[in-house]
Structure 1
Amino acid sequence: MRKITLSNGKIVEVECLSCAITSGLVKPDGGVIVETQYFHAHQDVAYPIEGLVILASKRHITCLDELTDEEKNDYINILSRIRKAQREALGIEYVYYFYNEDTTHHFHTWLVPRYEWMYEFGRSVESVRPVLLHARNKMNDIYNRKKVIQAIDTLTDELN
């Protein structure tokens, strides 16, 4: 078991945080955006960027090639539905998609919106890490959290 401090300061003791979130044992701030048979979408509000979505597999795997055919179909369908909702409901023109396999978490993809204020950190994929750190360290206030929760609610309504 590992002790993990969540973005809201609550400490949880779990084997795997992703298992705990996708199974409903741990509720992410803002709740579940959308859920399918194989995937779970939420936002890590520690990064207060409106419309940022994490799409995680419910099954404990780490690599894209470990997905079954059914999971692959579900993945691309829910990923494209989330992206469409980001565009139509939140007006997000561009996103960066990230997934990495050297993680202790489940297979998951981050959909990181690209906003005008982010260009001060650059215009390439290399700017995303500084943007995320800036959001976590400089934008973590009541005002931005409220905007993030509103965006989560908007996406949840759009996708369910």
Structure 2
Amino acid sequence: MNNIPLSNGTTVEVRCLSCALTSGLIKPDGGVIIETPLFHAHQDVAYPIPGLVILASKRHVFGLDELTEEESIEYLQLLRRIRKAQREVLKIEHVYYFYNEDTTHHFHTWLVPRYTWMYAFGRSVESVRPVLLHA
């Protein structure tokens, strides 16, 4: 089991955070953004930054190359829809995308928005960690 601190100040003990989110055991602040049989998108539960979205596979895979053809197509379509909503609804002009394969849970991508206040921490990818810690 893993102890996961949430942005609301609570800590949850779960075996798999993505499974807990996709099954409804953990409710992300703001609810589910998009859910399909293959993917689940929600506001990040650890960092309280509006528009910081996680797009996670429901299946336990760790790398992009493990997605099926159907998953690959849907993944890109969902990324585009989320990004379009970030731009149109939240007026987010720039976003950093992160995905890594050194994870203990599902394949997922972070869509990290860049707000004006974040430039105090720098303008490169190196500024993201201090921004997250500050939030």
Please give the TM-score of this superposition, normalised by the length of structure 2.
0.91
Judging changes above 3 Å, is the alpha-carbon distance between structure 1 residues 76 and 130 closer, same or farther for their aligned structure 2 residues?
same
Q: Which amino acid aligns with 1:99?
A: Y
Q: Do 2:38 and 2:58's aligned partners in 1 also have CA atoms closer than 8 Å? A: yes
4+ long deviations beyond 6 Å: none
What is residue 124 of structure 1 aligned with on the other side?
124
Quote how far apart the aligned CAs of 1:35 are.
0.7
How many correspondences in the alignment?
134
**2:70, 2:45 → 1: CA distance?**
30
Greater relative contact order (Cα 8 A, min sep 6): structure 1 or 2?
1
Q: Which amino acid aligns with 2:23?
A: S
Whose strand proportion is higher, 1 or 2? Answer: 2
Matches within 5 A, 1:95-134: 95-134=95-134
Q: Which amino acid aligns with 1:43?
A: Q
Instruction: Specify every segment of 5 or more residues in structure 1 that has no aligned partner in the other structure, as ranges.
Output: 136-160
- 1:23 matched to 2:23: yes
Quote how far apart the aligned CAs of 1:26 are.
2.3
Quote how far apart the aligned CAs of 1:36 are.
1.5
Quote how far apart the aligned CAs of 1:47 are.
1.1
Please give the TM-score of this superposition, normalised by the length of structure 1.
0.78
Which SS does the other structure have where 2:56 is aligned? strand
Q: Which amino acid aligns with 1:52?
A: L
Whose helix proportion is higher, 1 or 2? Answer: 1
1:70-128 deviations in Å (ceiling 9; x for gaps): 00000000000000000011100000000011010210000000011111111111111
**1:47, 1:71 → 2: CA distance?**
27
1:105-155 deviations in Å (ceiling 9; x for gaps): 2100000000111111111111111111111xxxxxxxxxxxxxxxxxxxx
Q: Do 2:4 and 2:14's aligned partners in 1 also have CA atoms closer than 8 Å? A: no
Q: Do 1:23 and 1:58's aligned partners in 2 also have CA atoms closer than 8 Å? A: no
Quote how far apart the aligned CAs of 1:49 are.
1.1
Q: Do 2:56 and 2:109's aligned partners in 1 also have CA atoms closer than 8 Å? A: yes
**1:54, 1:24 → 2: CA distance?**
15
What is residue 85 of structure 1 aligned with on the other side?
85
